[in-house]
Amino acid sequence: MIIRIVAGGPEDELPNLNADLEKEEQWIGVDRGALYLLERGIIPAKAFGDFDSITTEEWERVAAMVPDYVQFPAEKDETDLEIALNAAVKQHPEAIFLYGVTGGRLDHFFGAVTLLMKKELDCPVMIVDRQNEISVYSPGEAAIAQKEKWPYISFFAMSEQVEGLTLSGFKFPLYNYTVQKGSSRCVSNELIEKKGVFSFRSGILMVIRSRDGRRSH
Residue type, 183: S
Contacts of 111 (CB under 8 A, 6+ apart): 79, 81, 82
pLDDT digits (tens, 9 = 90+) for 49-98: 888 888 888 888 988 999 998 888 777 778 899 999 999 999 999 999 99
184: helix, strand or coil:
coil
**Residue 214: predicted pLDDT:** 54
**Residue 217: predicted pLDDT:** 44
Regions of the chain where pLDDT drops below 50: 215-217
Taking the C-alpha atoms of residue 98 and residue 120, their distance in angstroms, rounded to an integer, is 16
Residue positions counted in the chain: 217
- Sort 102 into a burial class: Cβ within 10 Å, 0-12 / 13-18 / 19+: buried
194: helix, strand or coil:
coil
User: 2-130 and 136-210 share one CATH topology?
Assistant: yes
CATH code reported for the domain at 2-130: 3.40.50.10240
The ranges assigned to domains in the chain are 2-130, 136-210
The answer to whether domain 136-210 has CATH 3.40.50.10240 is yes
Give the number of other CB atoms < 10 A from CB of residue 25.
16
